[in-house]
């Protein structure tokens, strides 16, 4: 056995426990997987006390500076996700901890979920299903997306795939990103427009940006107010990119025709969250890439990151 150790401190819900990908580490490092959350900060620290490498599998266990500073043996962290917002990256960099993520691998998987959410909310699938089950035979208007405009916020791998899928069902597409260039516009086959224009001229807004301080509440009261009356919002990025209070207000006022969300500022979503009382919403529990294919792609990416680090050539480094 080796003295180098990899710890998965909170694999809840199960992400990497039992994955065949872990076998790729056999003989190189010891591996410990915890399938529940630590009861308190002390147990959190105890679980990683001898870990050189941590896998923050669901990116749900938080790593503020105060925690990282108590882990002098920790040298490398990887998520099984694109997002690294659970980790204080400035503190990690200061402490010399390599942080890697898994970008792009599940772009087609997540974009397919976003497409399903968009179609579902436009065709009122959740609303009408609930009414039929309740014995009501209501036939509210639903919306044809062919010929309408899809505005994509974020031009990374998932945003790029969403543009392709939108075009495939006959939608006009446009995109906004923090770093727009003519070359990227040509690659995407969609025009870059400023954010206000995107919001004001799209029938559906689909969000695909990572959560940073720059993108937190990127879509707030002002932005929601700019959206076309009767338009839809889809979010498979991070919940905190959208101001939830403002979104609830826009839905309840009838300004927006609906929203479909896979992500929330607080997860699991509390049952008493006001969004749960909104009529025309579809809510999924952060499951866009939670399928056999998606999990294996993310797990293999995390193990690839660990192997690269062990080889002295860290990859996908975000610190």
Is residue 288 within 8 A of residue 81, CB to CB? The reply is: no
Question: Measured between alpha carbons, how far is 289 from 109 in angstroms, rounded to an integer?
Answer: 6
Of all helices (H) and strands (E), which one includes residue 301? helix 292-310
Bridge partner residues of 204 (DSSP): 150, 232
Question: Measured between alpha carbons, how far is 50 from 2 in angstroms, rounded to an integer?
Answer: 12
Structure tokens at 124: 């009122």
DSSP state of 105: T
Is residue 299 within 8 A of residue 277, CB to CB? The reply is: no
Question: Measured between alpha carbons, how far is 83 from 5 in angstroms, rounded to an integer?
Answer: 23
CB-based contacts of 35: which residues, under 8 Å, 6+ apart? Answer: 11, 12, 14, 17
Structure tokens at 164: 């392709």
Query: Given strand 53-56, what is the order of strands in its sheet?
Result: 30-33, 5-8, 53-56, 76-79, 98-100
3-state secondary structure of 53: strand
> Which residue matches tokens 């689909």?
206
Residues with a known catalytic role: 238, 267, 286
DSSP readout, 196-228? HHHHHH-SEEEE-----TTTTTSB-HHHHHHSP
């Amino acid at each position: 056995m080796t003295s180098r150790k990899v710890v998965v401190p909170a694999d809840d819900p199960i992400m990497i426990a039992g994955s065949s990908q872990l076998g790729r580490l056999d003989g190189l490092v010891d591996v410990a997987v915890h399938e529940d959350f630590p009861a308190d900060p002390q147990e959190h620290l105890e679980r990683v006390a001898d870990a050189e490498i941590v896998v923050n599998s669901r990116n749900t266990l938080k790593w503020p500076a105060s925690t990282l500073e108590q882990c002098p043996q920790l040298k490398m962290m990887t998520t099984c996700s694109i997002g690294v917002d659970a980790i204080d990256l400035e503190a990690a960099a200061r402490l010399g901890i390599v942080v890697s993520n898994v970008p792009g691998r599940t772009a087609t998987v997540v974009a397919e979920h976003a497409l399903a959410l968009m179609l579902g909310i436009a065709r009122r699938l959740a609303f009408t299903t609930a009414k039929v089950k309740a014995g009501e035979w209501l036939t509210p208007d639903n919306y044809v997306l062919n010929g309408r405009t899809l505005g994509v916020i974020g031009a990374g791998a998932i945003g790029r795939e969403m543009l392709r899928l939108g075009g495939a069902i006959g939608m006009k597409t446009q995109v906004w990103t923090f770093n727009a260039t003519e070359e990227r516009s040509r690659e995407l086959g969609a025009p870059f427009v400023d954010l206000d224009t995107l919001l004001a001229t799209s029938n559906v807004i689909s969000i695909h940006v990572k959560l940073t301080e720059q993108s937190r509440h990127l879509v707030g009261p002002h932005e929601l107010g700019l959206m076309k009356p009767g338009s839809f919002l889809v979010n498979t990025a991070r919940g905190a990119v959208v101001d939830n209070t403002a979104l609830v207000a826009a839905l309840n006022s009838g300004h927006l025709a609906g929203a479909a969300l896979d992500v929330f500022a607080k997860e699991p979503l509390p049952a008493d969250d006001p969004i749960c009382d909104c009529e025309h919403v579809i809510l999924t529990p952060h499951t866009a890439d939670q399928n056999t294919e998606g999990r294996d792609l993310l797990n293999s990416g995390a193990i690839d990151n660990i192997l690269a680090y062990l080889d002295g050539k860290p990859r996908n480094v975000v610190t």
